[in-house]
A = this chain, B = another copy of it.
C-alpha cells in the first residue's frame, strides 16, 4: 500500500497533493474510488477527469489544472502508469528452494536462491541461474540454461538445448524447443528431418501462454532481447525475431522467417516461410505476409467485414475480377476508336 509520496519517488515524477495519502489499487478514471490511483493517458478521457473520484491521477503537467484530486505529474503518463503497476501486484513471493516433489538431476546446476515448484523436472546439464522461478510441473530439458530472474509459469516445457536469458517471463503450457516441422518426401512417405538446432531467447523477453517456439533444423531459432510474444503464437524452426519486436496472439510464422527489430505484428497474422521483414514494420491483424518487406511502414491484407448477404455479393464478384477488368479494357478500347 504505497503512499503518493512513495509513488512519486518510485516513478521519479512530481506530486501535487498530500504525500502521506496511501492508495490500494489502480482503476480507470471513471471507476476509481477514493483509495485508488488512476491515470489519464488518452485525451479521449479528458472529460472524465473533472468527475474522477480517484485518490490521485497520473497525468501530464499541463493537464493538472483540470484535475480535482491529487496529481502525479509525468511527461508520459501511460509509461508512468505501467511502471506503477509493479507496486500493486498481489502475489505471494515464490517459495524459496526446491519443492520435495521436484525431480532434479544431480548433473543440473542450480543457483542458491532459485524457486523450483512442485513436480518440476530438471534434466542433466541444465543450468538455472539466481532468482529463477520455475512454476509447478515445468520441465527443463538437457543442457537448457535459464538466466537470472527469469520465471517460467506452471506447465512450461523446454526441450533440450533451450537457452533463455535474464529477466524473461514464459507463461503456462508454452513449449520451447519442440521439433520444427521438417520432413523430406520419400517413396515411403515423409522422412523426418531430426531437428539438430536449439532455441535461443534473449533477455527481458515475455512469451505468452500455450505458445510454441520450435528448435532449429541445423542452427538455433532466435528471439532477441526485449521481444514480446503473446498467447498461442507459433514460431517455426529457424525463425529470427528482432529486438523489441511485438507479436500478438494467434500469429503463426512459418520456417526461417526473419523479422527485424521494433516490428509489431497484430493478432492472427500469418507469415510464409523464408521471407524477411525489415525493422519498424507494422502488420495489421490477420494479414497474410507472402513476401519479404524491405520498407518500414504498415502492411495489410484481407477484406473488410460486411453483413454476410452483402459480403457474398462482393465475394462472387471477386472471382470475376479478371473478367471484369477485361470487359473494362474492352470498353476503353472501343471508346478510343
Contact = CB atoms under 8 A, between A and B. Distances in A.
Interface centre among A186, A246, A307, A317 (most CB of B within 10 A): A317
Given A119-B118, A312-B300, A155 B157 contact: yes
Contact of A81 (B193, B206, B225, B268): B193
Interface stretch (A13-21, A64-72, A126-134, A290-298): A290-298
Number of identical protomers: 3
A316 B304 contact: yes
B135 A136 contact: no
A297 B308 contact: yes
A10 interface: no
Interface range, A side: 35 or more
B298 A160 contact: no
> Does more than half of chain A's interface fall in helix, strand or loop, or is it mixed?
loop
A103 B95 CA distance: 13
A154 to B, nearest CB: 4
Contacts of A300: 305-308, 311-312, 315
Given A184-B81, A232-B232, A307 B315 contact: no
A103 B92 contact: no
Contacts of A328: 324, 327-328, 331
Contacts of A26: 196, 218
Interface in A44-97: 76, 78-79, 81-83, 85-86, 88-92
Interface in A271-288: 272, 282, 284-288
Contact of A305 (B124, B171, B288): B288
16 contacts: A26-B218, A101-B101, A139-B172, A155-B175, A190-B206, A190-B246, A209-B212, A250-B252, A252-B267, A268-B270, A287-B305, A300-B305, A303-B318, A314-B319, A327-B328, A331-B331
The 10 closest A-B pairs by CB, nearest first: A317-B321, A82-B184, A250-B252, A85-B194, A298-B308, A175-B209, A189-B226, A313-B322, A178-B209, A300-B311
